Structure 1
Amino acid sequence: MDVRRVVAVVAVVAAVVVMAAVPAVAAASPVAWRPCGTPQEPSAECATVEVPIDRGRPELGAARLALARLPALDPAHRFGSLLVNPGGPGGSGVGFVQFGGLASPDLARLRQRFDIVGFDPRGDWFSTPRITCDPATLFDPALDRFPSSRAGFDALVAHNRKAGEDCLSRTGPLLANADTQSAAEDIETIRAALGEPKISWLGLSYGTELGAVYASKHPDRVRTMVLDGAVDHARPLRQAILEEAAATEDALVRFANWCRGSAECALHGHDVLGFYDDVVARAARGTVWASDLGRPATADEISAGVYNHLYIREEWPALAKALAAAGGEFPDARKLTERNQFLTPIYGAYRAIGCHDFPSPFTGPADMGVMAGLLRAVAPHSWRYSEYWDFTSGCTGWPIPAKNPPQPHPVRGAPPILVVGGAHDPATPLAWARGLAASIEGAALLTRMDDGHTGLFNSPCARVAEVSYLVTGVPPGQGMVCR
């Protein structure tokens, strides 16, 4: 779900009944666009929209959300604005739009008929105030995220409390209001500022949760909505932890099977899962160097680096080379660890928003130990890193109360919404897509049988279906499968 994939995704991403175009309505505070073109998107325009930090406490002031827009190439047949969120929590819609996230030829019809609008949610990237944390306080590579003793559990709690207090002191009151409920109301403010009676939405990964919450609050403001790589926020956290870990393990096993049969794999002919386990074990002993870190990589960092490469099926050859380098005679895990966000400035937003939406369910070391044992059982190779364990272990002791813990967000009264799930998605299991679709009245579910996270970045079939639906408003037939 998280934002570390946006740069890699941008590198990879190099009809039936047409609905009438929806006329714009006047906005009380129209957006003032200015040129901000890039080599990838020369026509890009940028702006800001102001939102309250806390809608119940105006004395806390306002935040300014950064926006980027690609104007419709066929303005005479424009449908309106298509808002995009590339995931996270903490993904930059501004960067996604400005630097080619929607440049695939398969998406050309969207560029023709919509103003493509990306935004940075409150606290993220170019929005201000920005969630700011000391990376060294937030992430300690020596910390045990799987404590089995009271002392280890207390150390985890103390570390997370100190990290949260540091983020709060640097960020201010926005940190306590960086939840998805607040961000969903920000979308409504953006819609009004754009002068649109309705919006279309393309949400990926965490963007599916954000879009679903918006649709539950404002179903009459939705024209079309794609929720791709679906997060089911109603699932109990313990269940979600195990489901996601099993999905990550499935993706790793499928990668290993591909290596076994493909000469394109740098580990072709090896026992890939055994090779992976050996690299992780040596990292746990501190013997796998990472030149980008200037120190040995931890086992968690190795595992997270492999996980990040599993997102895009086209990156599997690069993953094989990176894993081979980490396990070579002179190991260097750089190509794995440089893809982690643990020490980057954006990890603070990922953690802070995550702790609002996915707070720790753990009551003590015994409870956490039981869950850790179950995690190892469902993910015997990849257990050291999965995002929901990263969320919940990192939120154990977090001092800011959660404003949006797991809960149903039923959607009623909206037009048909398209939910896309993958049978072998490493981050968002297919069961989540089924659960989310079941909570949305009239939703259509498209199932992918291929690999990788989200159909937009891995499945030409899914891209075609998503574009057709966004343009026409007619979802694919129930039960559609992309093979």
Structure 2
Amino acid sequence: MGIRGIVALVAAVVVAAAVPAVAEASSLSWRPCATTQEPTAECSTVEVPIDRARPELGSAQLALARLPALDPAHRIGSLLVNPGGPGGSGVGFVQFGGLASPDLARLRQRFDIVGFDPRGDWFSTPRITCGEGLWDPALNRFPATRTEYDALVAHNRKVGEECLARTGPLLENADTQSAAEDIETIRAALGEPKISWLGLSYGTELGAVYASKHPDRVRTMVLDGAVDHARPLRQAILEEAAATEDALVRFADWCRGSADCALRGEDVLAFYDDVVSRAAHGAVWSSDLKRPATADEISAGVYNHLYIREEWPTLGKALAAAGGEFPDAAKLTGRNQFQSPIYGAYRAIGCHDFPSPFTGPADMGAMAGLLRVVAPHSWRYSEYWDFTSGCTGWPIPPKNPPQQHPVKGAPPILVVGGAHDPATPLAWARGLASSIEGAALLIRTDDGHTGLFNSACARAAEVEYLVSGVPPGRGAVCR
């Protein structure tokens, strides 16, 4: 990752106490689980109740991975990390180099880095398990008639019932409120009086809910790529779609004039529209899928390449290949989540937190029309439409629909938002920061999803804050 100048200076130089309080005894037993990327990695598990109000439903085992502090004499405590999702693996993030950037070396020195797989995800058990039919490429997620709408509802109900049959009662308790209480169980098992937190994307919602429930257990907390769970879903759908469109337009402008782009000199948006249009008619092959790619799959693949600014040249090549004389969209379809092993967890958690607001085909059609207005090129894929269209007819009642999670009594929390983030609009970061008493807001003006993955300036500010406890001053900007 390239190094950029830090525009926003830390507002104070007084360093907070390294150790907040006397640690309690840990109840965890760690075993080596080294990888090539992280040879010191250790793994463990912690038990949590599936439903804290109904202990008869049994328990779940959460998988943990830890990188012990490299400078134990100056160890601050445990830094819990969540890479996003819903459904992202904190264990995999820690074990396979998610924090290996030299910019983050101070975190490795001063903290035990702890990743965990939330309930139902990856190496935690029981795992959310759904059938292969969860993603049906033939299904219209933009139904224009009552018949198409009823087909969408029937499909989602059927696959949701199959997920429930395969997973059991955990599926009904896979919401973020329950996962936030799991963090408190992890904290106690670690023997830490307080934790530090680094949450990306969905990890910002999870962290904010935890802080609202247990503000006295927070030492420091970074919420990077902020999700504002208080936002009305219809508003959030349009805001996110507009953010995705903005990122696509910025990529196209760069690509047209850059020697690093395979489509240099082209009208890139017209090229993109043509590929998507041909995919909608079954005319774009994917060797990855061994069938024609759908327009939704093409759009989702482009979207996921927009996450990391340094991947834009790769996106140019992938898009060019999908629109060539002998088109192959494999490099795009291989990067969407529809065939991912965690798509079931993504959908199930999403339906708890972002349930469908649609009342019928006319209502859904009207929202789809607005979607086309705010995102005339990229409208076929945005995450909130994926959630809400996929949750239309979902049979599991939502346990954590959009609501306020105000945070009071915690130390200053750092919220990081990007002006051109394709997944989490800057307005969400502002909204989340306004719900947290004493929050600091750091704004990025560059591209990509989250500062940790795209901005040396943001990484520096996050590291300084996590170590010292002192956030950037008011009006901090990374350009």
Q: Distance in 1 between matches of 2:96 and 2:265?
A: 38
The residue type equivalent to 2:79 in the other structure is L
The residue type equivalent to 2:374 in the other structure is V
Matched, 1:96 2:93: yes
Q: Distance in 2 between matches of 1:271 and 1:390?
A: 28
Matched, 1:310 2:283: no
Residue matched to 2:23: 25
The residue type equivalent to 1:346 in the other structure is I
3-state secondary structure, aligned to 2:87: coil
Q: Distance in 1 between matches of 2:153 and 2:367?
A: 17
Deviation at 1:341, TM superposition (A): 1.6
3-state secondary structure, aligned to 1:190: helix
Residue matched to 2:177: 181
Aligned-residue CA RMSD (Å)? 0.9
Q: Distance in 1 between matches of 2:22 and 2:428?
A: 35
Residue matched to 2:59: 62
Instruction: Detail structure 1 runs of 4+ shifted over 3 Å in the superposition.
Output: none
Residue matched to 2:4: none
Residue matched to 2:428: 432
Find 2:78's aligned residue among 59, 77, 81: 81
Residue matched to 1:405: 401
Q: Is the CA contact 2:81–2:197 (under 8 Å) kept in the aligned structure 1?
A: yes
Residue matched to 1:420: 416
Residue matched to 2:282: 286
Deviation at 1:25, TM superposition (A): 2.7
Q: Distance in 2 between matches of 1:373 and 1:275?
A: 23
Residue matched to 2:273: 277
Q: Is the CA contact 2:86–2:350 (under 8 Å) kept in the aligned structure 1?
A: yes
Matched, 1:320 2:316: yes
Q: Is the CA contact 2:81–2:90 (under 8 Å) kept in the aligned structure 1?
A: yes
Matched, 1:478 2:479: no
Q: Is the CA contact 1:24–1:195 (under 8 Å) kept in the aligned structure 2?
A: no
Cα displacement string for residues 233-285 of structure 1 (whole angstroms, at most 9, x for unaligned residues): 00000000000000000000000000122111100010000000000000000
The residue type equivalent to 1:463 in the other structure is R
3-state secondary structure, aligned to 2:142: coil
Cα displacement string for residues 182-228 of structure 1 (whole angstroms, at most 9, x for unaligned residues): 00000000000000000000000000000000000000000000000
Q: Distance in 2 between matches of 1:208 and 1:171?
A: 26
Deviation at 1:31, TM superposition (A): 0.8
Matched, 1:35 2:32: yes
Q: Distance in 2 between matches of 1:382 and 1:150?
A: 25
Q: Please, what TM-score do these two structures have when normalized by structure 1? A: 0.96
Residue matched to 2:153: 157
Residue matched to 1:6: none
Q: Is the CA contact 2:79–2:198 (under 8 Å) kept in the aligned structure 1?
A: yes
Find 2:387's aligned residue among 367, 391, 394: 391
Cα displacement string for residues 140-159 of structure 1 (whole angstroms, at most 9, x for unaligned residues): 00000000111010000000
3-state secondary structure, aligned to 1:420: strand
| Equivalent runs, 1:231-250 vs 2, <5 Å | 231-250=227-246
Gapped runs of 5+ residues in structure 2?
A: 2-9
The residue type equivalent to 1:262 in the other structure is S
Q: Distance in 1 between matches of 2:33 and 2:14?
A: 35
Cα displacement string for residues 126-171 of structure 1 (whole angstroms, at most 9, x for unaligned residues): 0000000112x20100000000111010000000000100100000
Deviation at 1:24, TM superposition (A): 4.5
Residue matched to 1:266: 262
Residue matched to 2:137: 141
Q: Give the share of equivalent positions with the same residue, in percent.
A: 86
Find 1:132's aligned residue among 129, 133, 138: 129
Q: Is the CA contact 1:23–1:80 (under 8 Å) kept in the aligned structure 2?
A: no
Q: Is the CA contact 2:358–2:364 (under 8 Å) kept in the aligned structure 1?
A: yes
Q: Distance in 2 between matches of 1:78 and 1:325?
A: 49
Find 2:68's aligned residue among 30, 55, 71: 71
Residue matched to 1:341: 337
Q: Distance in 2 between matches of 1:245 and 1:479?
A: 27
Find 1:202's aligned residue among 198, 204, 221: 198
Q: Distance in 1 between matches of 2:463 and 2:44?
A: 26
Q: Please, what TM-score do these two structures have when normalized by structure 2? A: 0.97
Residue matched to 1:110: 107
Q: Distance in 2 between matches of 1:428 and 1:46?
A: 31
Deviation at 1:18, TM superposition (A): 2.5
3-state secondary structure, aligned to 1:210: helix
